[in-house]
Amino acid sequence: MAFAANTLSALVALVFLLAGAQKVLLRDPVTANLLRLGVGSTMTRAIGALEIAGALGLAAGLWLRPLAITAAAGLTSLLVGAVGFHLRARDFTHRRHRSHAVAPVVLAAVTGTTTALLLATS
């Protein structure tokens, strides 16, 4: 089970490192969607920085398990907040645009699973 926890941690870290970099750099597709949700550029950069910090925590957590658990739980919390923003914007039922809410829901489940695996193997 430790192999699964470490592999999932590494994959999640890579995803959030890339996603966080897009937000910190204010890439157009990312900022356009976040602006639609009511998230300004300052908050977008802050979210990106938190995602990068979580990714680095997961990577370092391969050697320091408590750090990995904290990072995974933090990323899960961040994604629960993202789902809340999508709910507030009624992104789940928006007809003109495809829903962007699926990604945070799936990622919240993945990071939650990562947290549980890390806890089980600590």
pLDDT digits over 28-67, tens only? 888 888 888 888 899 999 999 999 999 999 999 989 999 9
Distance CA 66, CA 89 (A): 35
Distance CA 40, CA 73 (A): 25
Residue that has been written with the tokens 């990995």 in this structure: 68
More confident residue, 69 or 90: 69
Which amino acid is located at 79 in the chain? L
Nearest Cα neighbor of 55 from 89, 117, 10 is 10
User: How many CB atoms are closer than 10 A to CB 83?
Assistant: 17
Nearest Cα neighbor of 46 from 26, 65, 62, 71 is 26
The predicted model gives 63-80 an average pLDDT of 95
Which amino acid is located at 64 in the chain? L
Per-residue pLDDT at 93 exceeds 90: no
Residue that has been written with the tokens 């009511």 in this structure: 38
